[in-house]
Amino acid sequence: MGEFMSLGIPPIKFDWIDDQNDRQSEFLKFAIKILTLYQNNQSVWIGENQTIYKTESNSLETGPFLYFQSGGTSGRKKWVQHNHTSMQFAVDGLTDFLEVEYLSSWCCLPLNHVGGMMQVMRAGRTGGKVFFLDYRNLFSEIGDHANGKWLSLVPTQLFRLVRNEVSLDNLRRFRGIFLGGAALTESLVYQCRKEELPVYPTYGMSETCGMVTILNNSNFLNGENGVGKALSHTKLKVGHDNSRILVKSKSMALNTFAENDPNDSWLLTPDYGRQDNKDNWQIDGRADRVIISGGEKINMDEIEKIMSKCEHIDSCLISHRKDEEWGECIIFHGTPKIADLKIIQSFAKQHLKNYQVPKIWYLVNELPLSAMGKTKN
């Protein structure tokens, strides 16, 4: 086992660095900088674009801390606070589920997000390795870089990779692919099963230090849907009044609740969900994706799910804007730009309720992505 993460934060050994890394990699140098500060009893606010937003000498027994910026359950940006204990529970919950001794990763997610930095923490805690490289390098031959490693992607990234034979072959070489951050379309699920990719759908958030549920790859390939069951360090339930998911986790951020114990309090998430007949969790959409247009309550995630079944588009995004007539106006963005818009609109009228049909339509070459690879609204 590696000595990087345990109670008391023992001296850091940087043996988690994969020998195949480019030593001039900005991501590698940034990871080393963060961990060096952290080891020296500094709390670190991890900023965007490989920058440190702030550091502060720690004087608390529960520190030092790493801070990640999150959209939060309210939709407002905030800093979430994790320490060695919350990160340790997150790592151990995952290794318990996977029944593995070590976790090595190809890290292509930014380190200012929990999904990126936790790949380093997993390797340090378990004696694994981390190799830093952009996911777009998977479109080219990668040799043995994937051997024994886990890859974390969001659906938009995977959608682009499965359309290329070289990247498909590369994806098959990974030990597993953690997939989270957004809903999977039926067509992407079909493609992953057809190609027998080692996909593990997950659900998590910055407040819980990453994933809290996971669906085993063998179950996924055998037709089970959703994001699996809760990991050992977490409990989930559905609110009786609004069907939103509540989470209680030993990996909960320390500043999630003003006064209550973060390990023994329920966090109301913005996500609507339920358990199916196999007890797998199904995520049905987000509360902040529900708008009122023309007096009707509209779930934009539901529209996206339906429109993604149209065989004339590759991908789509439903957004909205203020409108004097409707209150909120629904906007459709789809790819590719050369698609036949009339056919797409006809599909919408056949499969959507009248009040769900978008008022504004755009076809583009590519949907814009955030640093995490998620589609930007």
Cβ pair 43, 63 in contact under 8 A:
yes
The pLDDT value given to residue 76: 66
Q: Please write the tens of the pLDDT for every residue from 201-242.
A: 999 999 999 999 999 999 999 999 999 999 999 999 998 777
- DSSP-derived 3-state class of residue 53: strand
Structure tokens at 151: 């890859």
- Report pLDDT for 74: 47
Q: Which of the 8 DSSP states describes residue 253? A: -
The CATH number of 26-286 is 3.40.50.12780
More confidently predicted of 182 and 204: 204
Q: Taking 90 as the threshold, does the pLDDT of residue 103 lie above it?
A: yes
CATH 3.30.300.30 placement within the chain: 294-363
Question: Rounded distance, CA 159 to CA 185, Å?
Answer: 9
Question: Given pLDDT bands bounded at 50, 70 and 90, which one contains residue 73?
Answer: very low
The reported pLDDT for the residue numbered 370 is: 62
Segment 351-360, tens digit of pLDDT:
999 999 999 9
Which range scores top for mean pLDDT: 39-48, 238-247, 249-258? Answer: 39-48
Paired with 104 in beta bridges are 149
Residue 13: pLDDT band with limits 50, 70, 90: low
Instruction: Please name the helix (run of DSSP H) or strand (run of DSSP E) that holds residue 283, with its range, or none.
Output: strand 281-286
pLDDT at 3: 44
**Tokens standing for 255?**
């500043």
Nearest to 99 by CA among 282, 262, 232: 232
Q: Which architecture, in CATH terms, is 294-363?
A: 2-Layer Sandwich (3.30)
Instruction: Specify the pTM.
Output: 0.83
pLDDT at 373: 55
